[in-house]
A and B are shown apart, each in its own frame.
Chain A
Amino acid sequence: DSGVTQTPKHLITATGQRVTLRCSPRSGDLSVYWYQQSLDQGLQFLIQYYNGEERAKGNILERFSAQQFPDLHSELNLSSLELGDSALYFCASSVRVEGPGELFFGEGSRLTVL
């Protein structure tokens, strides 16, 4: 158990809808990362937050947004969903914002868009 909690584990929704994925980092970790895992592209970095502030941005679509709250949990919002957004979404956390440092991953949220 990595100590990173993600909810929901599974989510099925329709195209055009909006969903929110939630992540609670390990106790003491200030940095949260979101990754998208699809079959053909592996793990793609989406965005990183550190202590409530956006720290780095990767291949995150404009339809997606994220935030980190004062209690350090983070939410990833996916809107105007398309079939291609179906994937596993992982949250990871680390103590440090600058590296290198180990990332601890949750078990992921599997999103299916029908």
Chain B
Amino acid sequence: QQQVKQSPQSLIVQKGGIPIINCAYENTAFDYFPWYQQFPGKGPALLIAIRPDVSEKKEGRFTISFNKSAKQFSLHIMDSQPGDSATYFCAARSETGANNLFFGTGTRLTVIP
């Protein structure tokens, strides 16, 4: 059973567009929500993360929006660039567990020049 559901599976945008990737969860014990970025042939790398006590976090062109009541969170990429083309994974960690993460199924983003 997938504990974190992610959509869409793939996304194609023009350069400068704002791709949005959405994730949803059910486990109310989740207390940390990171996004990882993965380039072909590489392992995932942390991009940005949020705790449920805030509704939004920005780091450069990347923004996480968090809706605790709806148990949803999303990643927005402002002014997207071809170099942002990668697979993005949302994830969640349970406050009752160890530091292991439960990942979504990933979104393959392609930014067209």
The chain A residues found within 8 Å of chain B, CB to CB, are 2, 4, 31, 33, 35, 40-45, 48, 50, 55-56, 58, 90, 92, 94, 96-108
**B89 touches A (CB below 8 Å):** yes
How far does the alpha carbon of A98 sit from the alpha carbon of B96 in the complex, in Å? 9
Interface contact B43-A99, CB-CB below 8 Å: no
For B19-32 the 0/1 string (1 means CB < 8 A from A) is 00000000000011
30 of the cross-chain contacts (CB-CB < 8 Å) are A2-B43, A2-B45, A31-B98, A31-B99, A33-B99, A40-B105, A41-B2, A41-B105, A42-B103, A42-B104, A42-B105, A43-B44, A43-B91, A43-B103, A44-B103, A45-B101, A48-B98, A48-B100, A56-B98, A92-B43, A94-B99, A99-B32, A100-B32, A100-B49, A100-B51, A100-B99, A102-B34, A103-B99, A105-B43, A105-B45
State how many angstroms separate the Cβ of A4 from the closest Cβ of chain B.
7
Interface contact B44-A97, CB-CB below 8 Å: no
Interface contact B99-A45, CB-CB below 8 Å: no
**B62 touches A (CB below 8 Å):** no
Enumerate chain B residues within 8 angstroms of A56, measured Cβ to Cβ: 97-98, 100
Task: Given A40-B105, A42-B106, A43-B89, answer yes or no on A101-B43 (Cβ-Cβ < 8 Å).
Answer: no
How far does the alpha carbon of A108 sit from the alpha carbon of B44 in the complex, in Å? 10
Enumerate chain B residues within 8 angstroms of A108, measured Cβ to Cβ: 43
Enumerate chain B residues within 8 angstroms of A102, measured Cβ to Cβ: 34, 46, 49
**B113 touches A (CB below 8 Å):** no
Closest 10 interchain pairs by CB? A105-B43, A100-B32, A99-B99, A42-B105, A43-B103, A56-B98, A102-B46, A55-B98, A42-B106, A45-B100
Interface contact B43-A97, CB-CB below 8 Å: no
Enumerate chain B residues within 8 angstroms of A103, measured Cβ to Cβ: 46, 99, 101
List B43-71 residues whose CB lies under 8 Å from chain A: 43-46, 49, 51
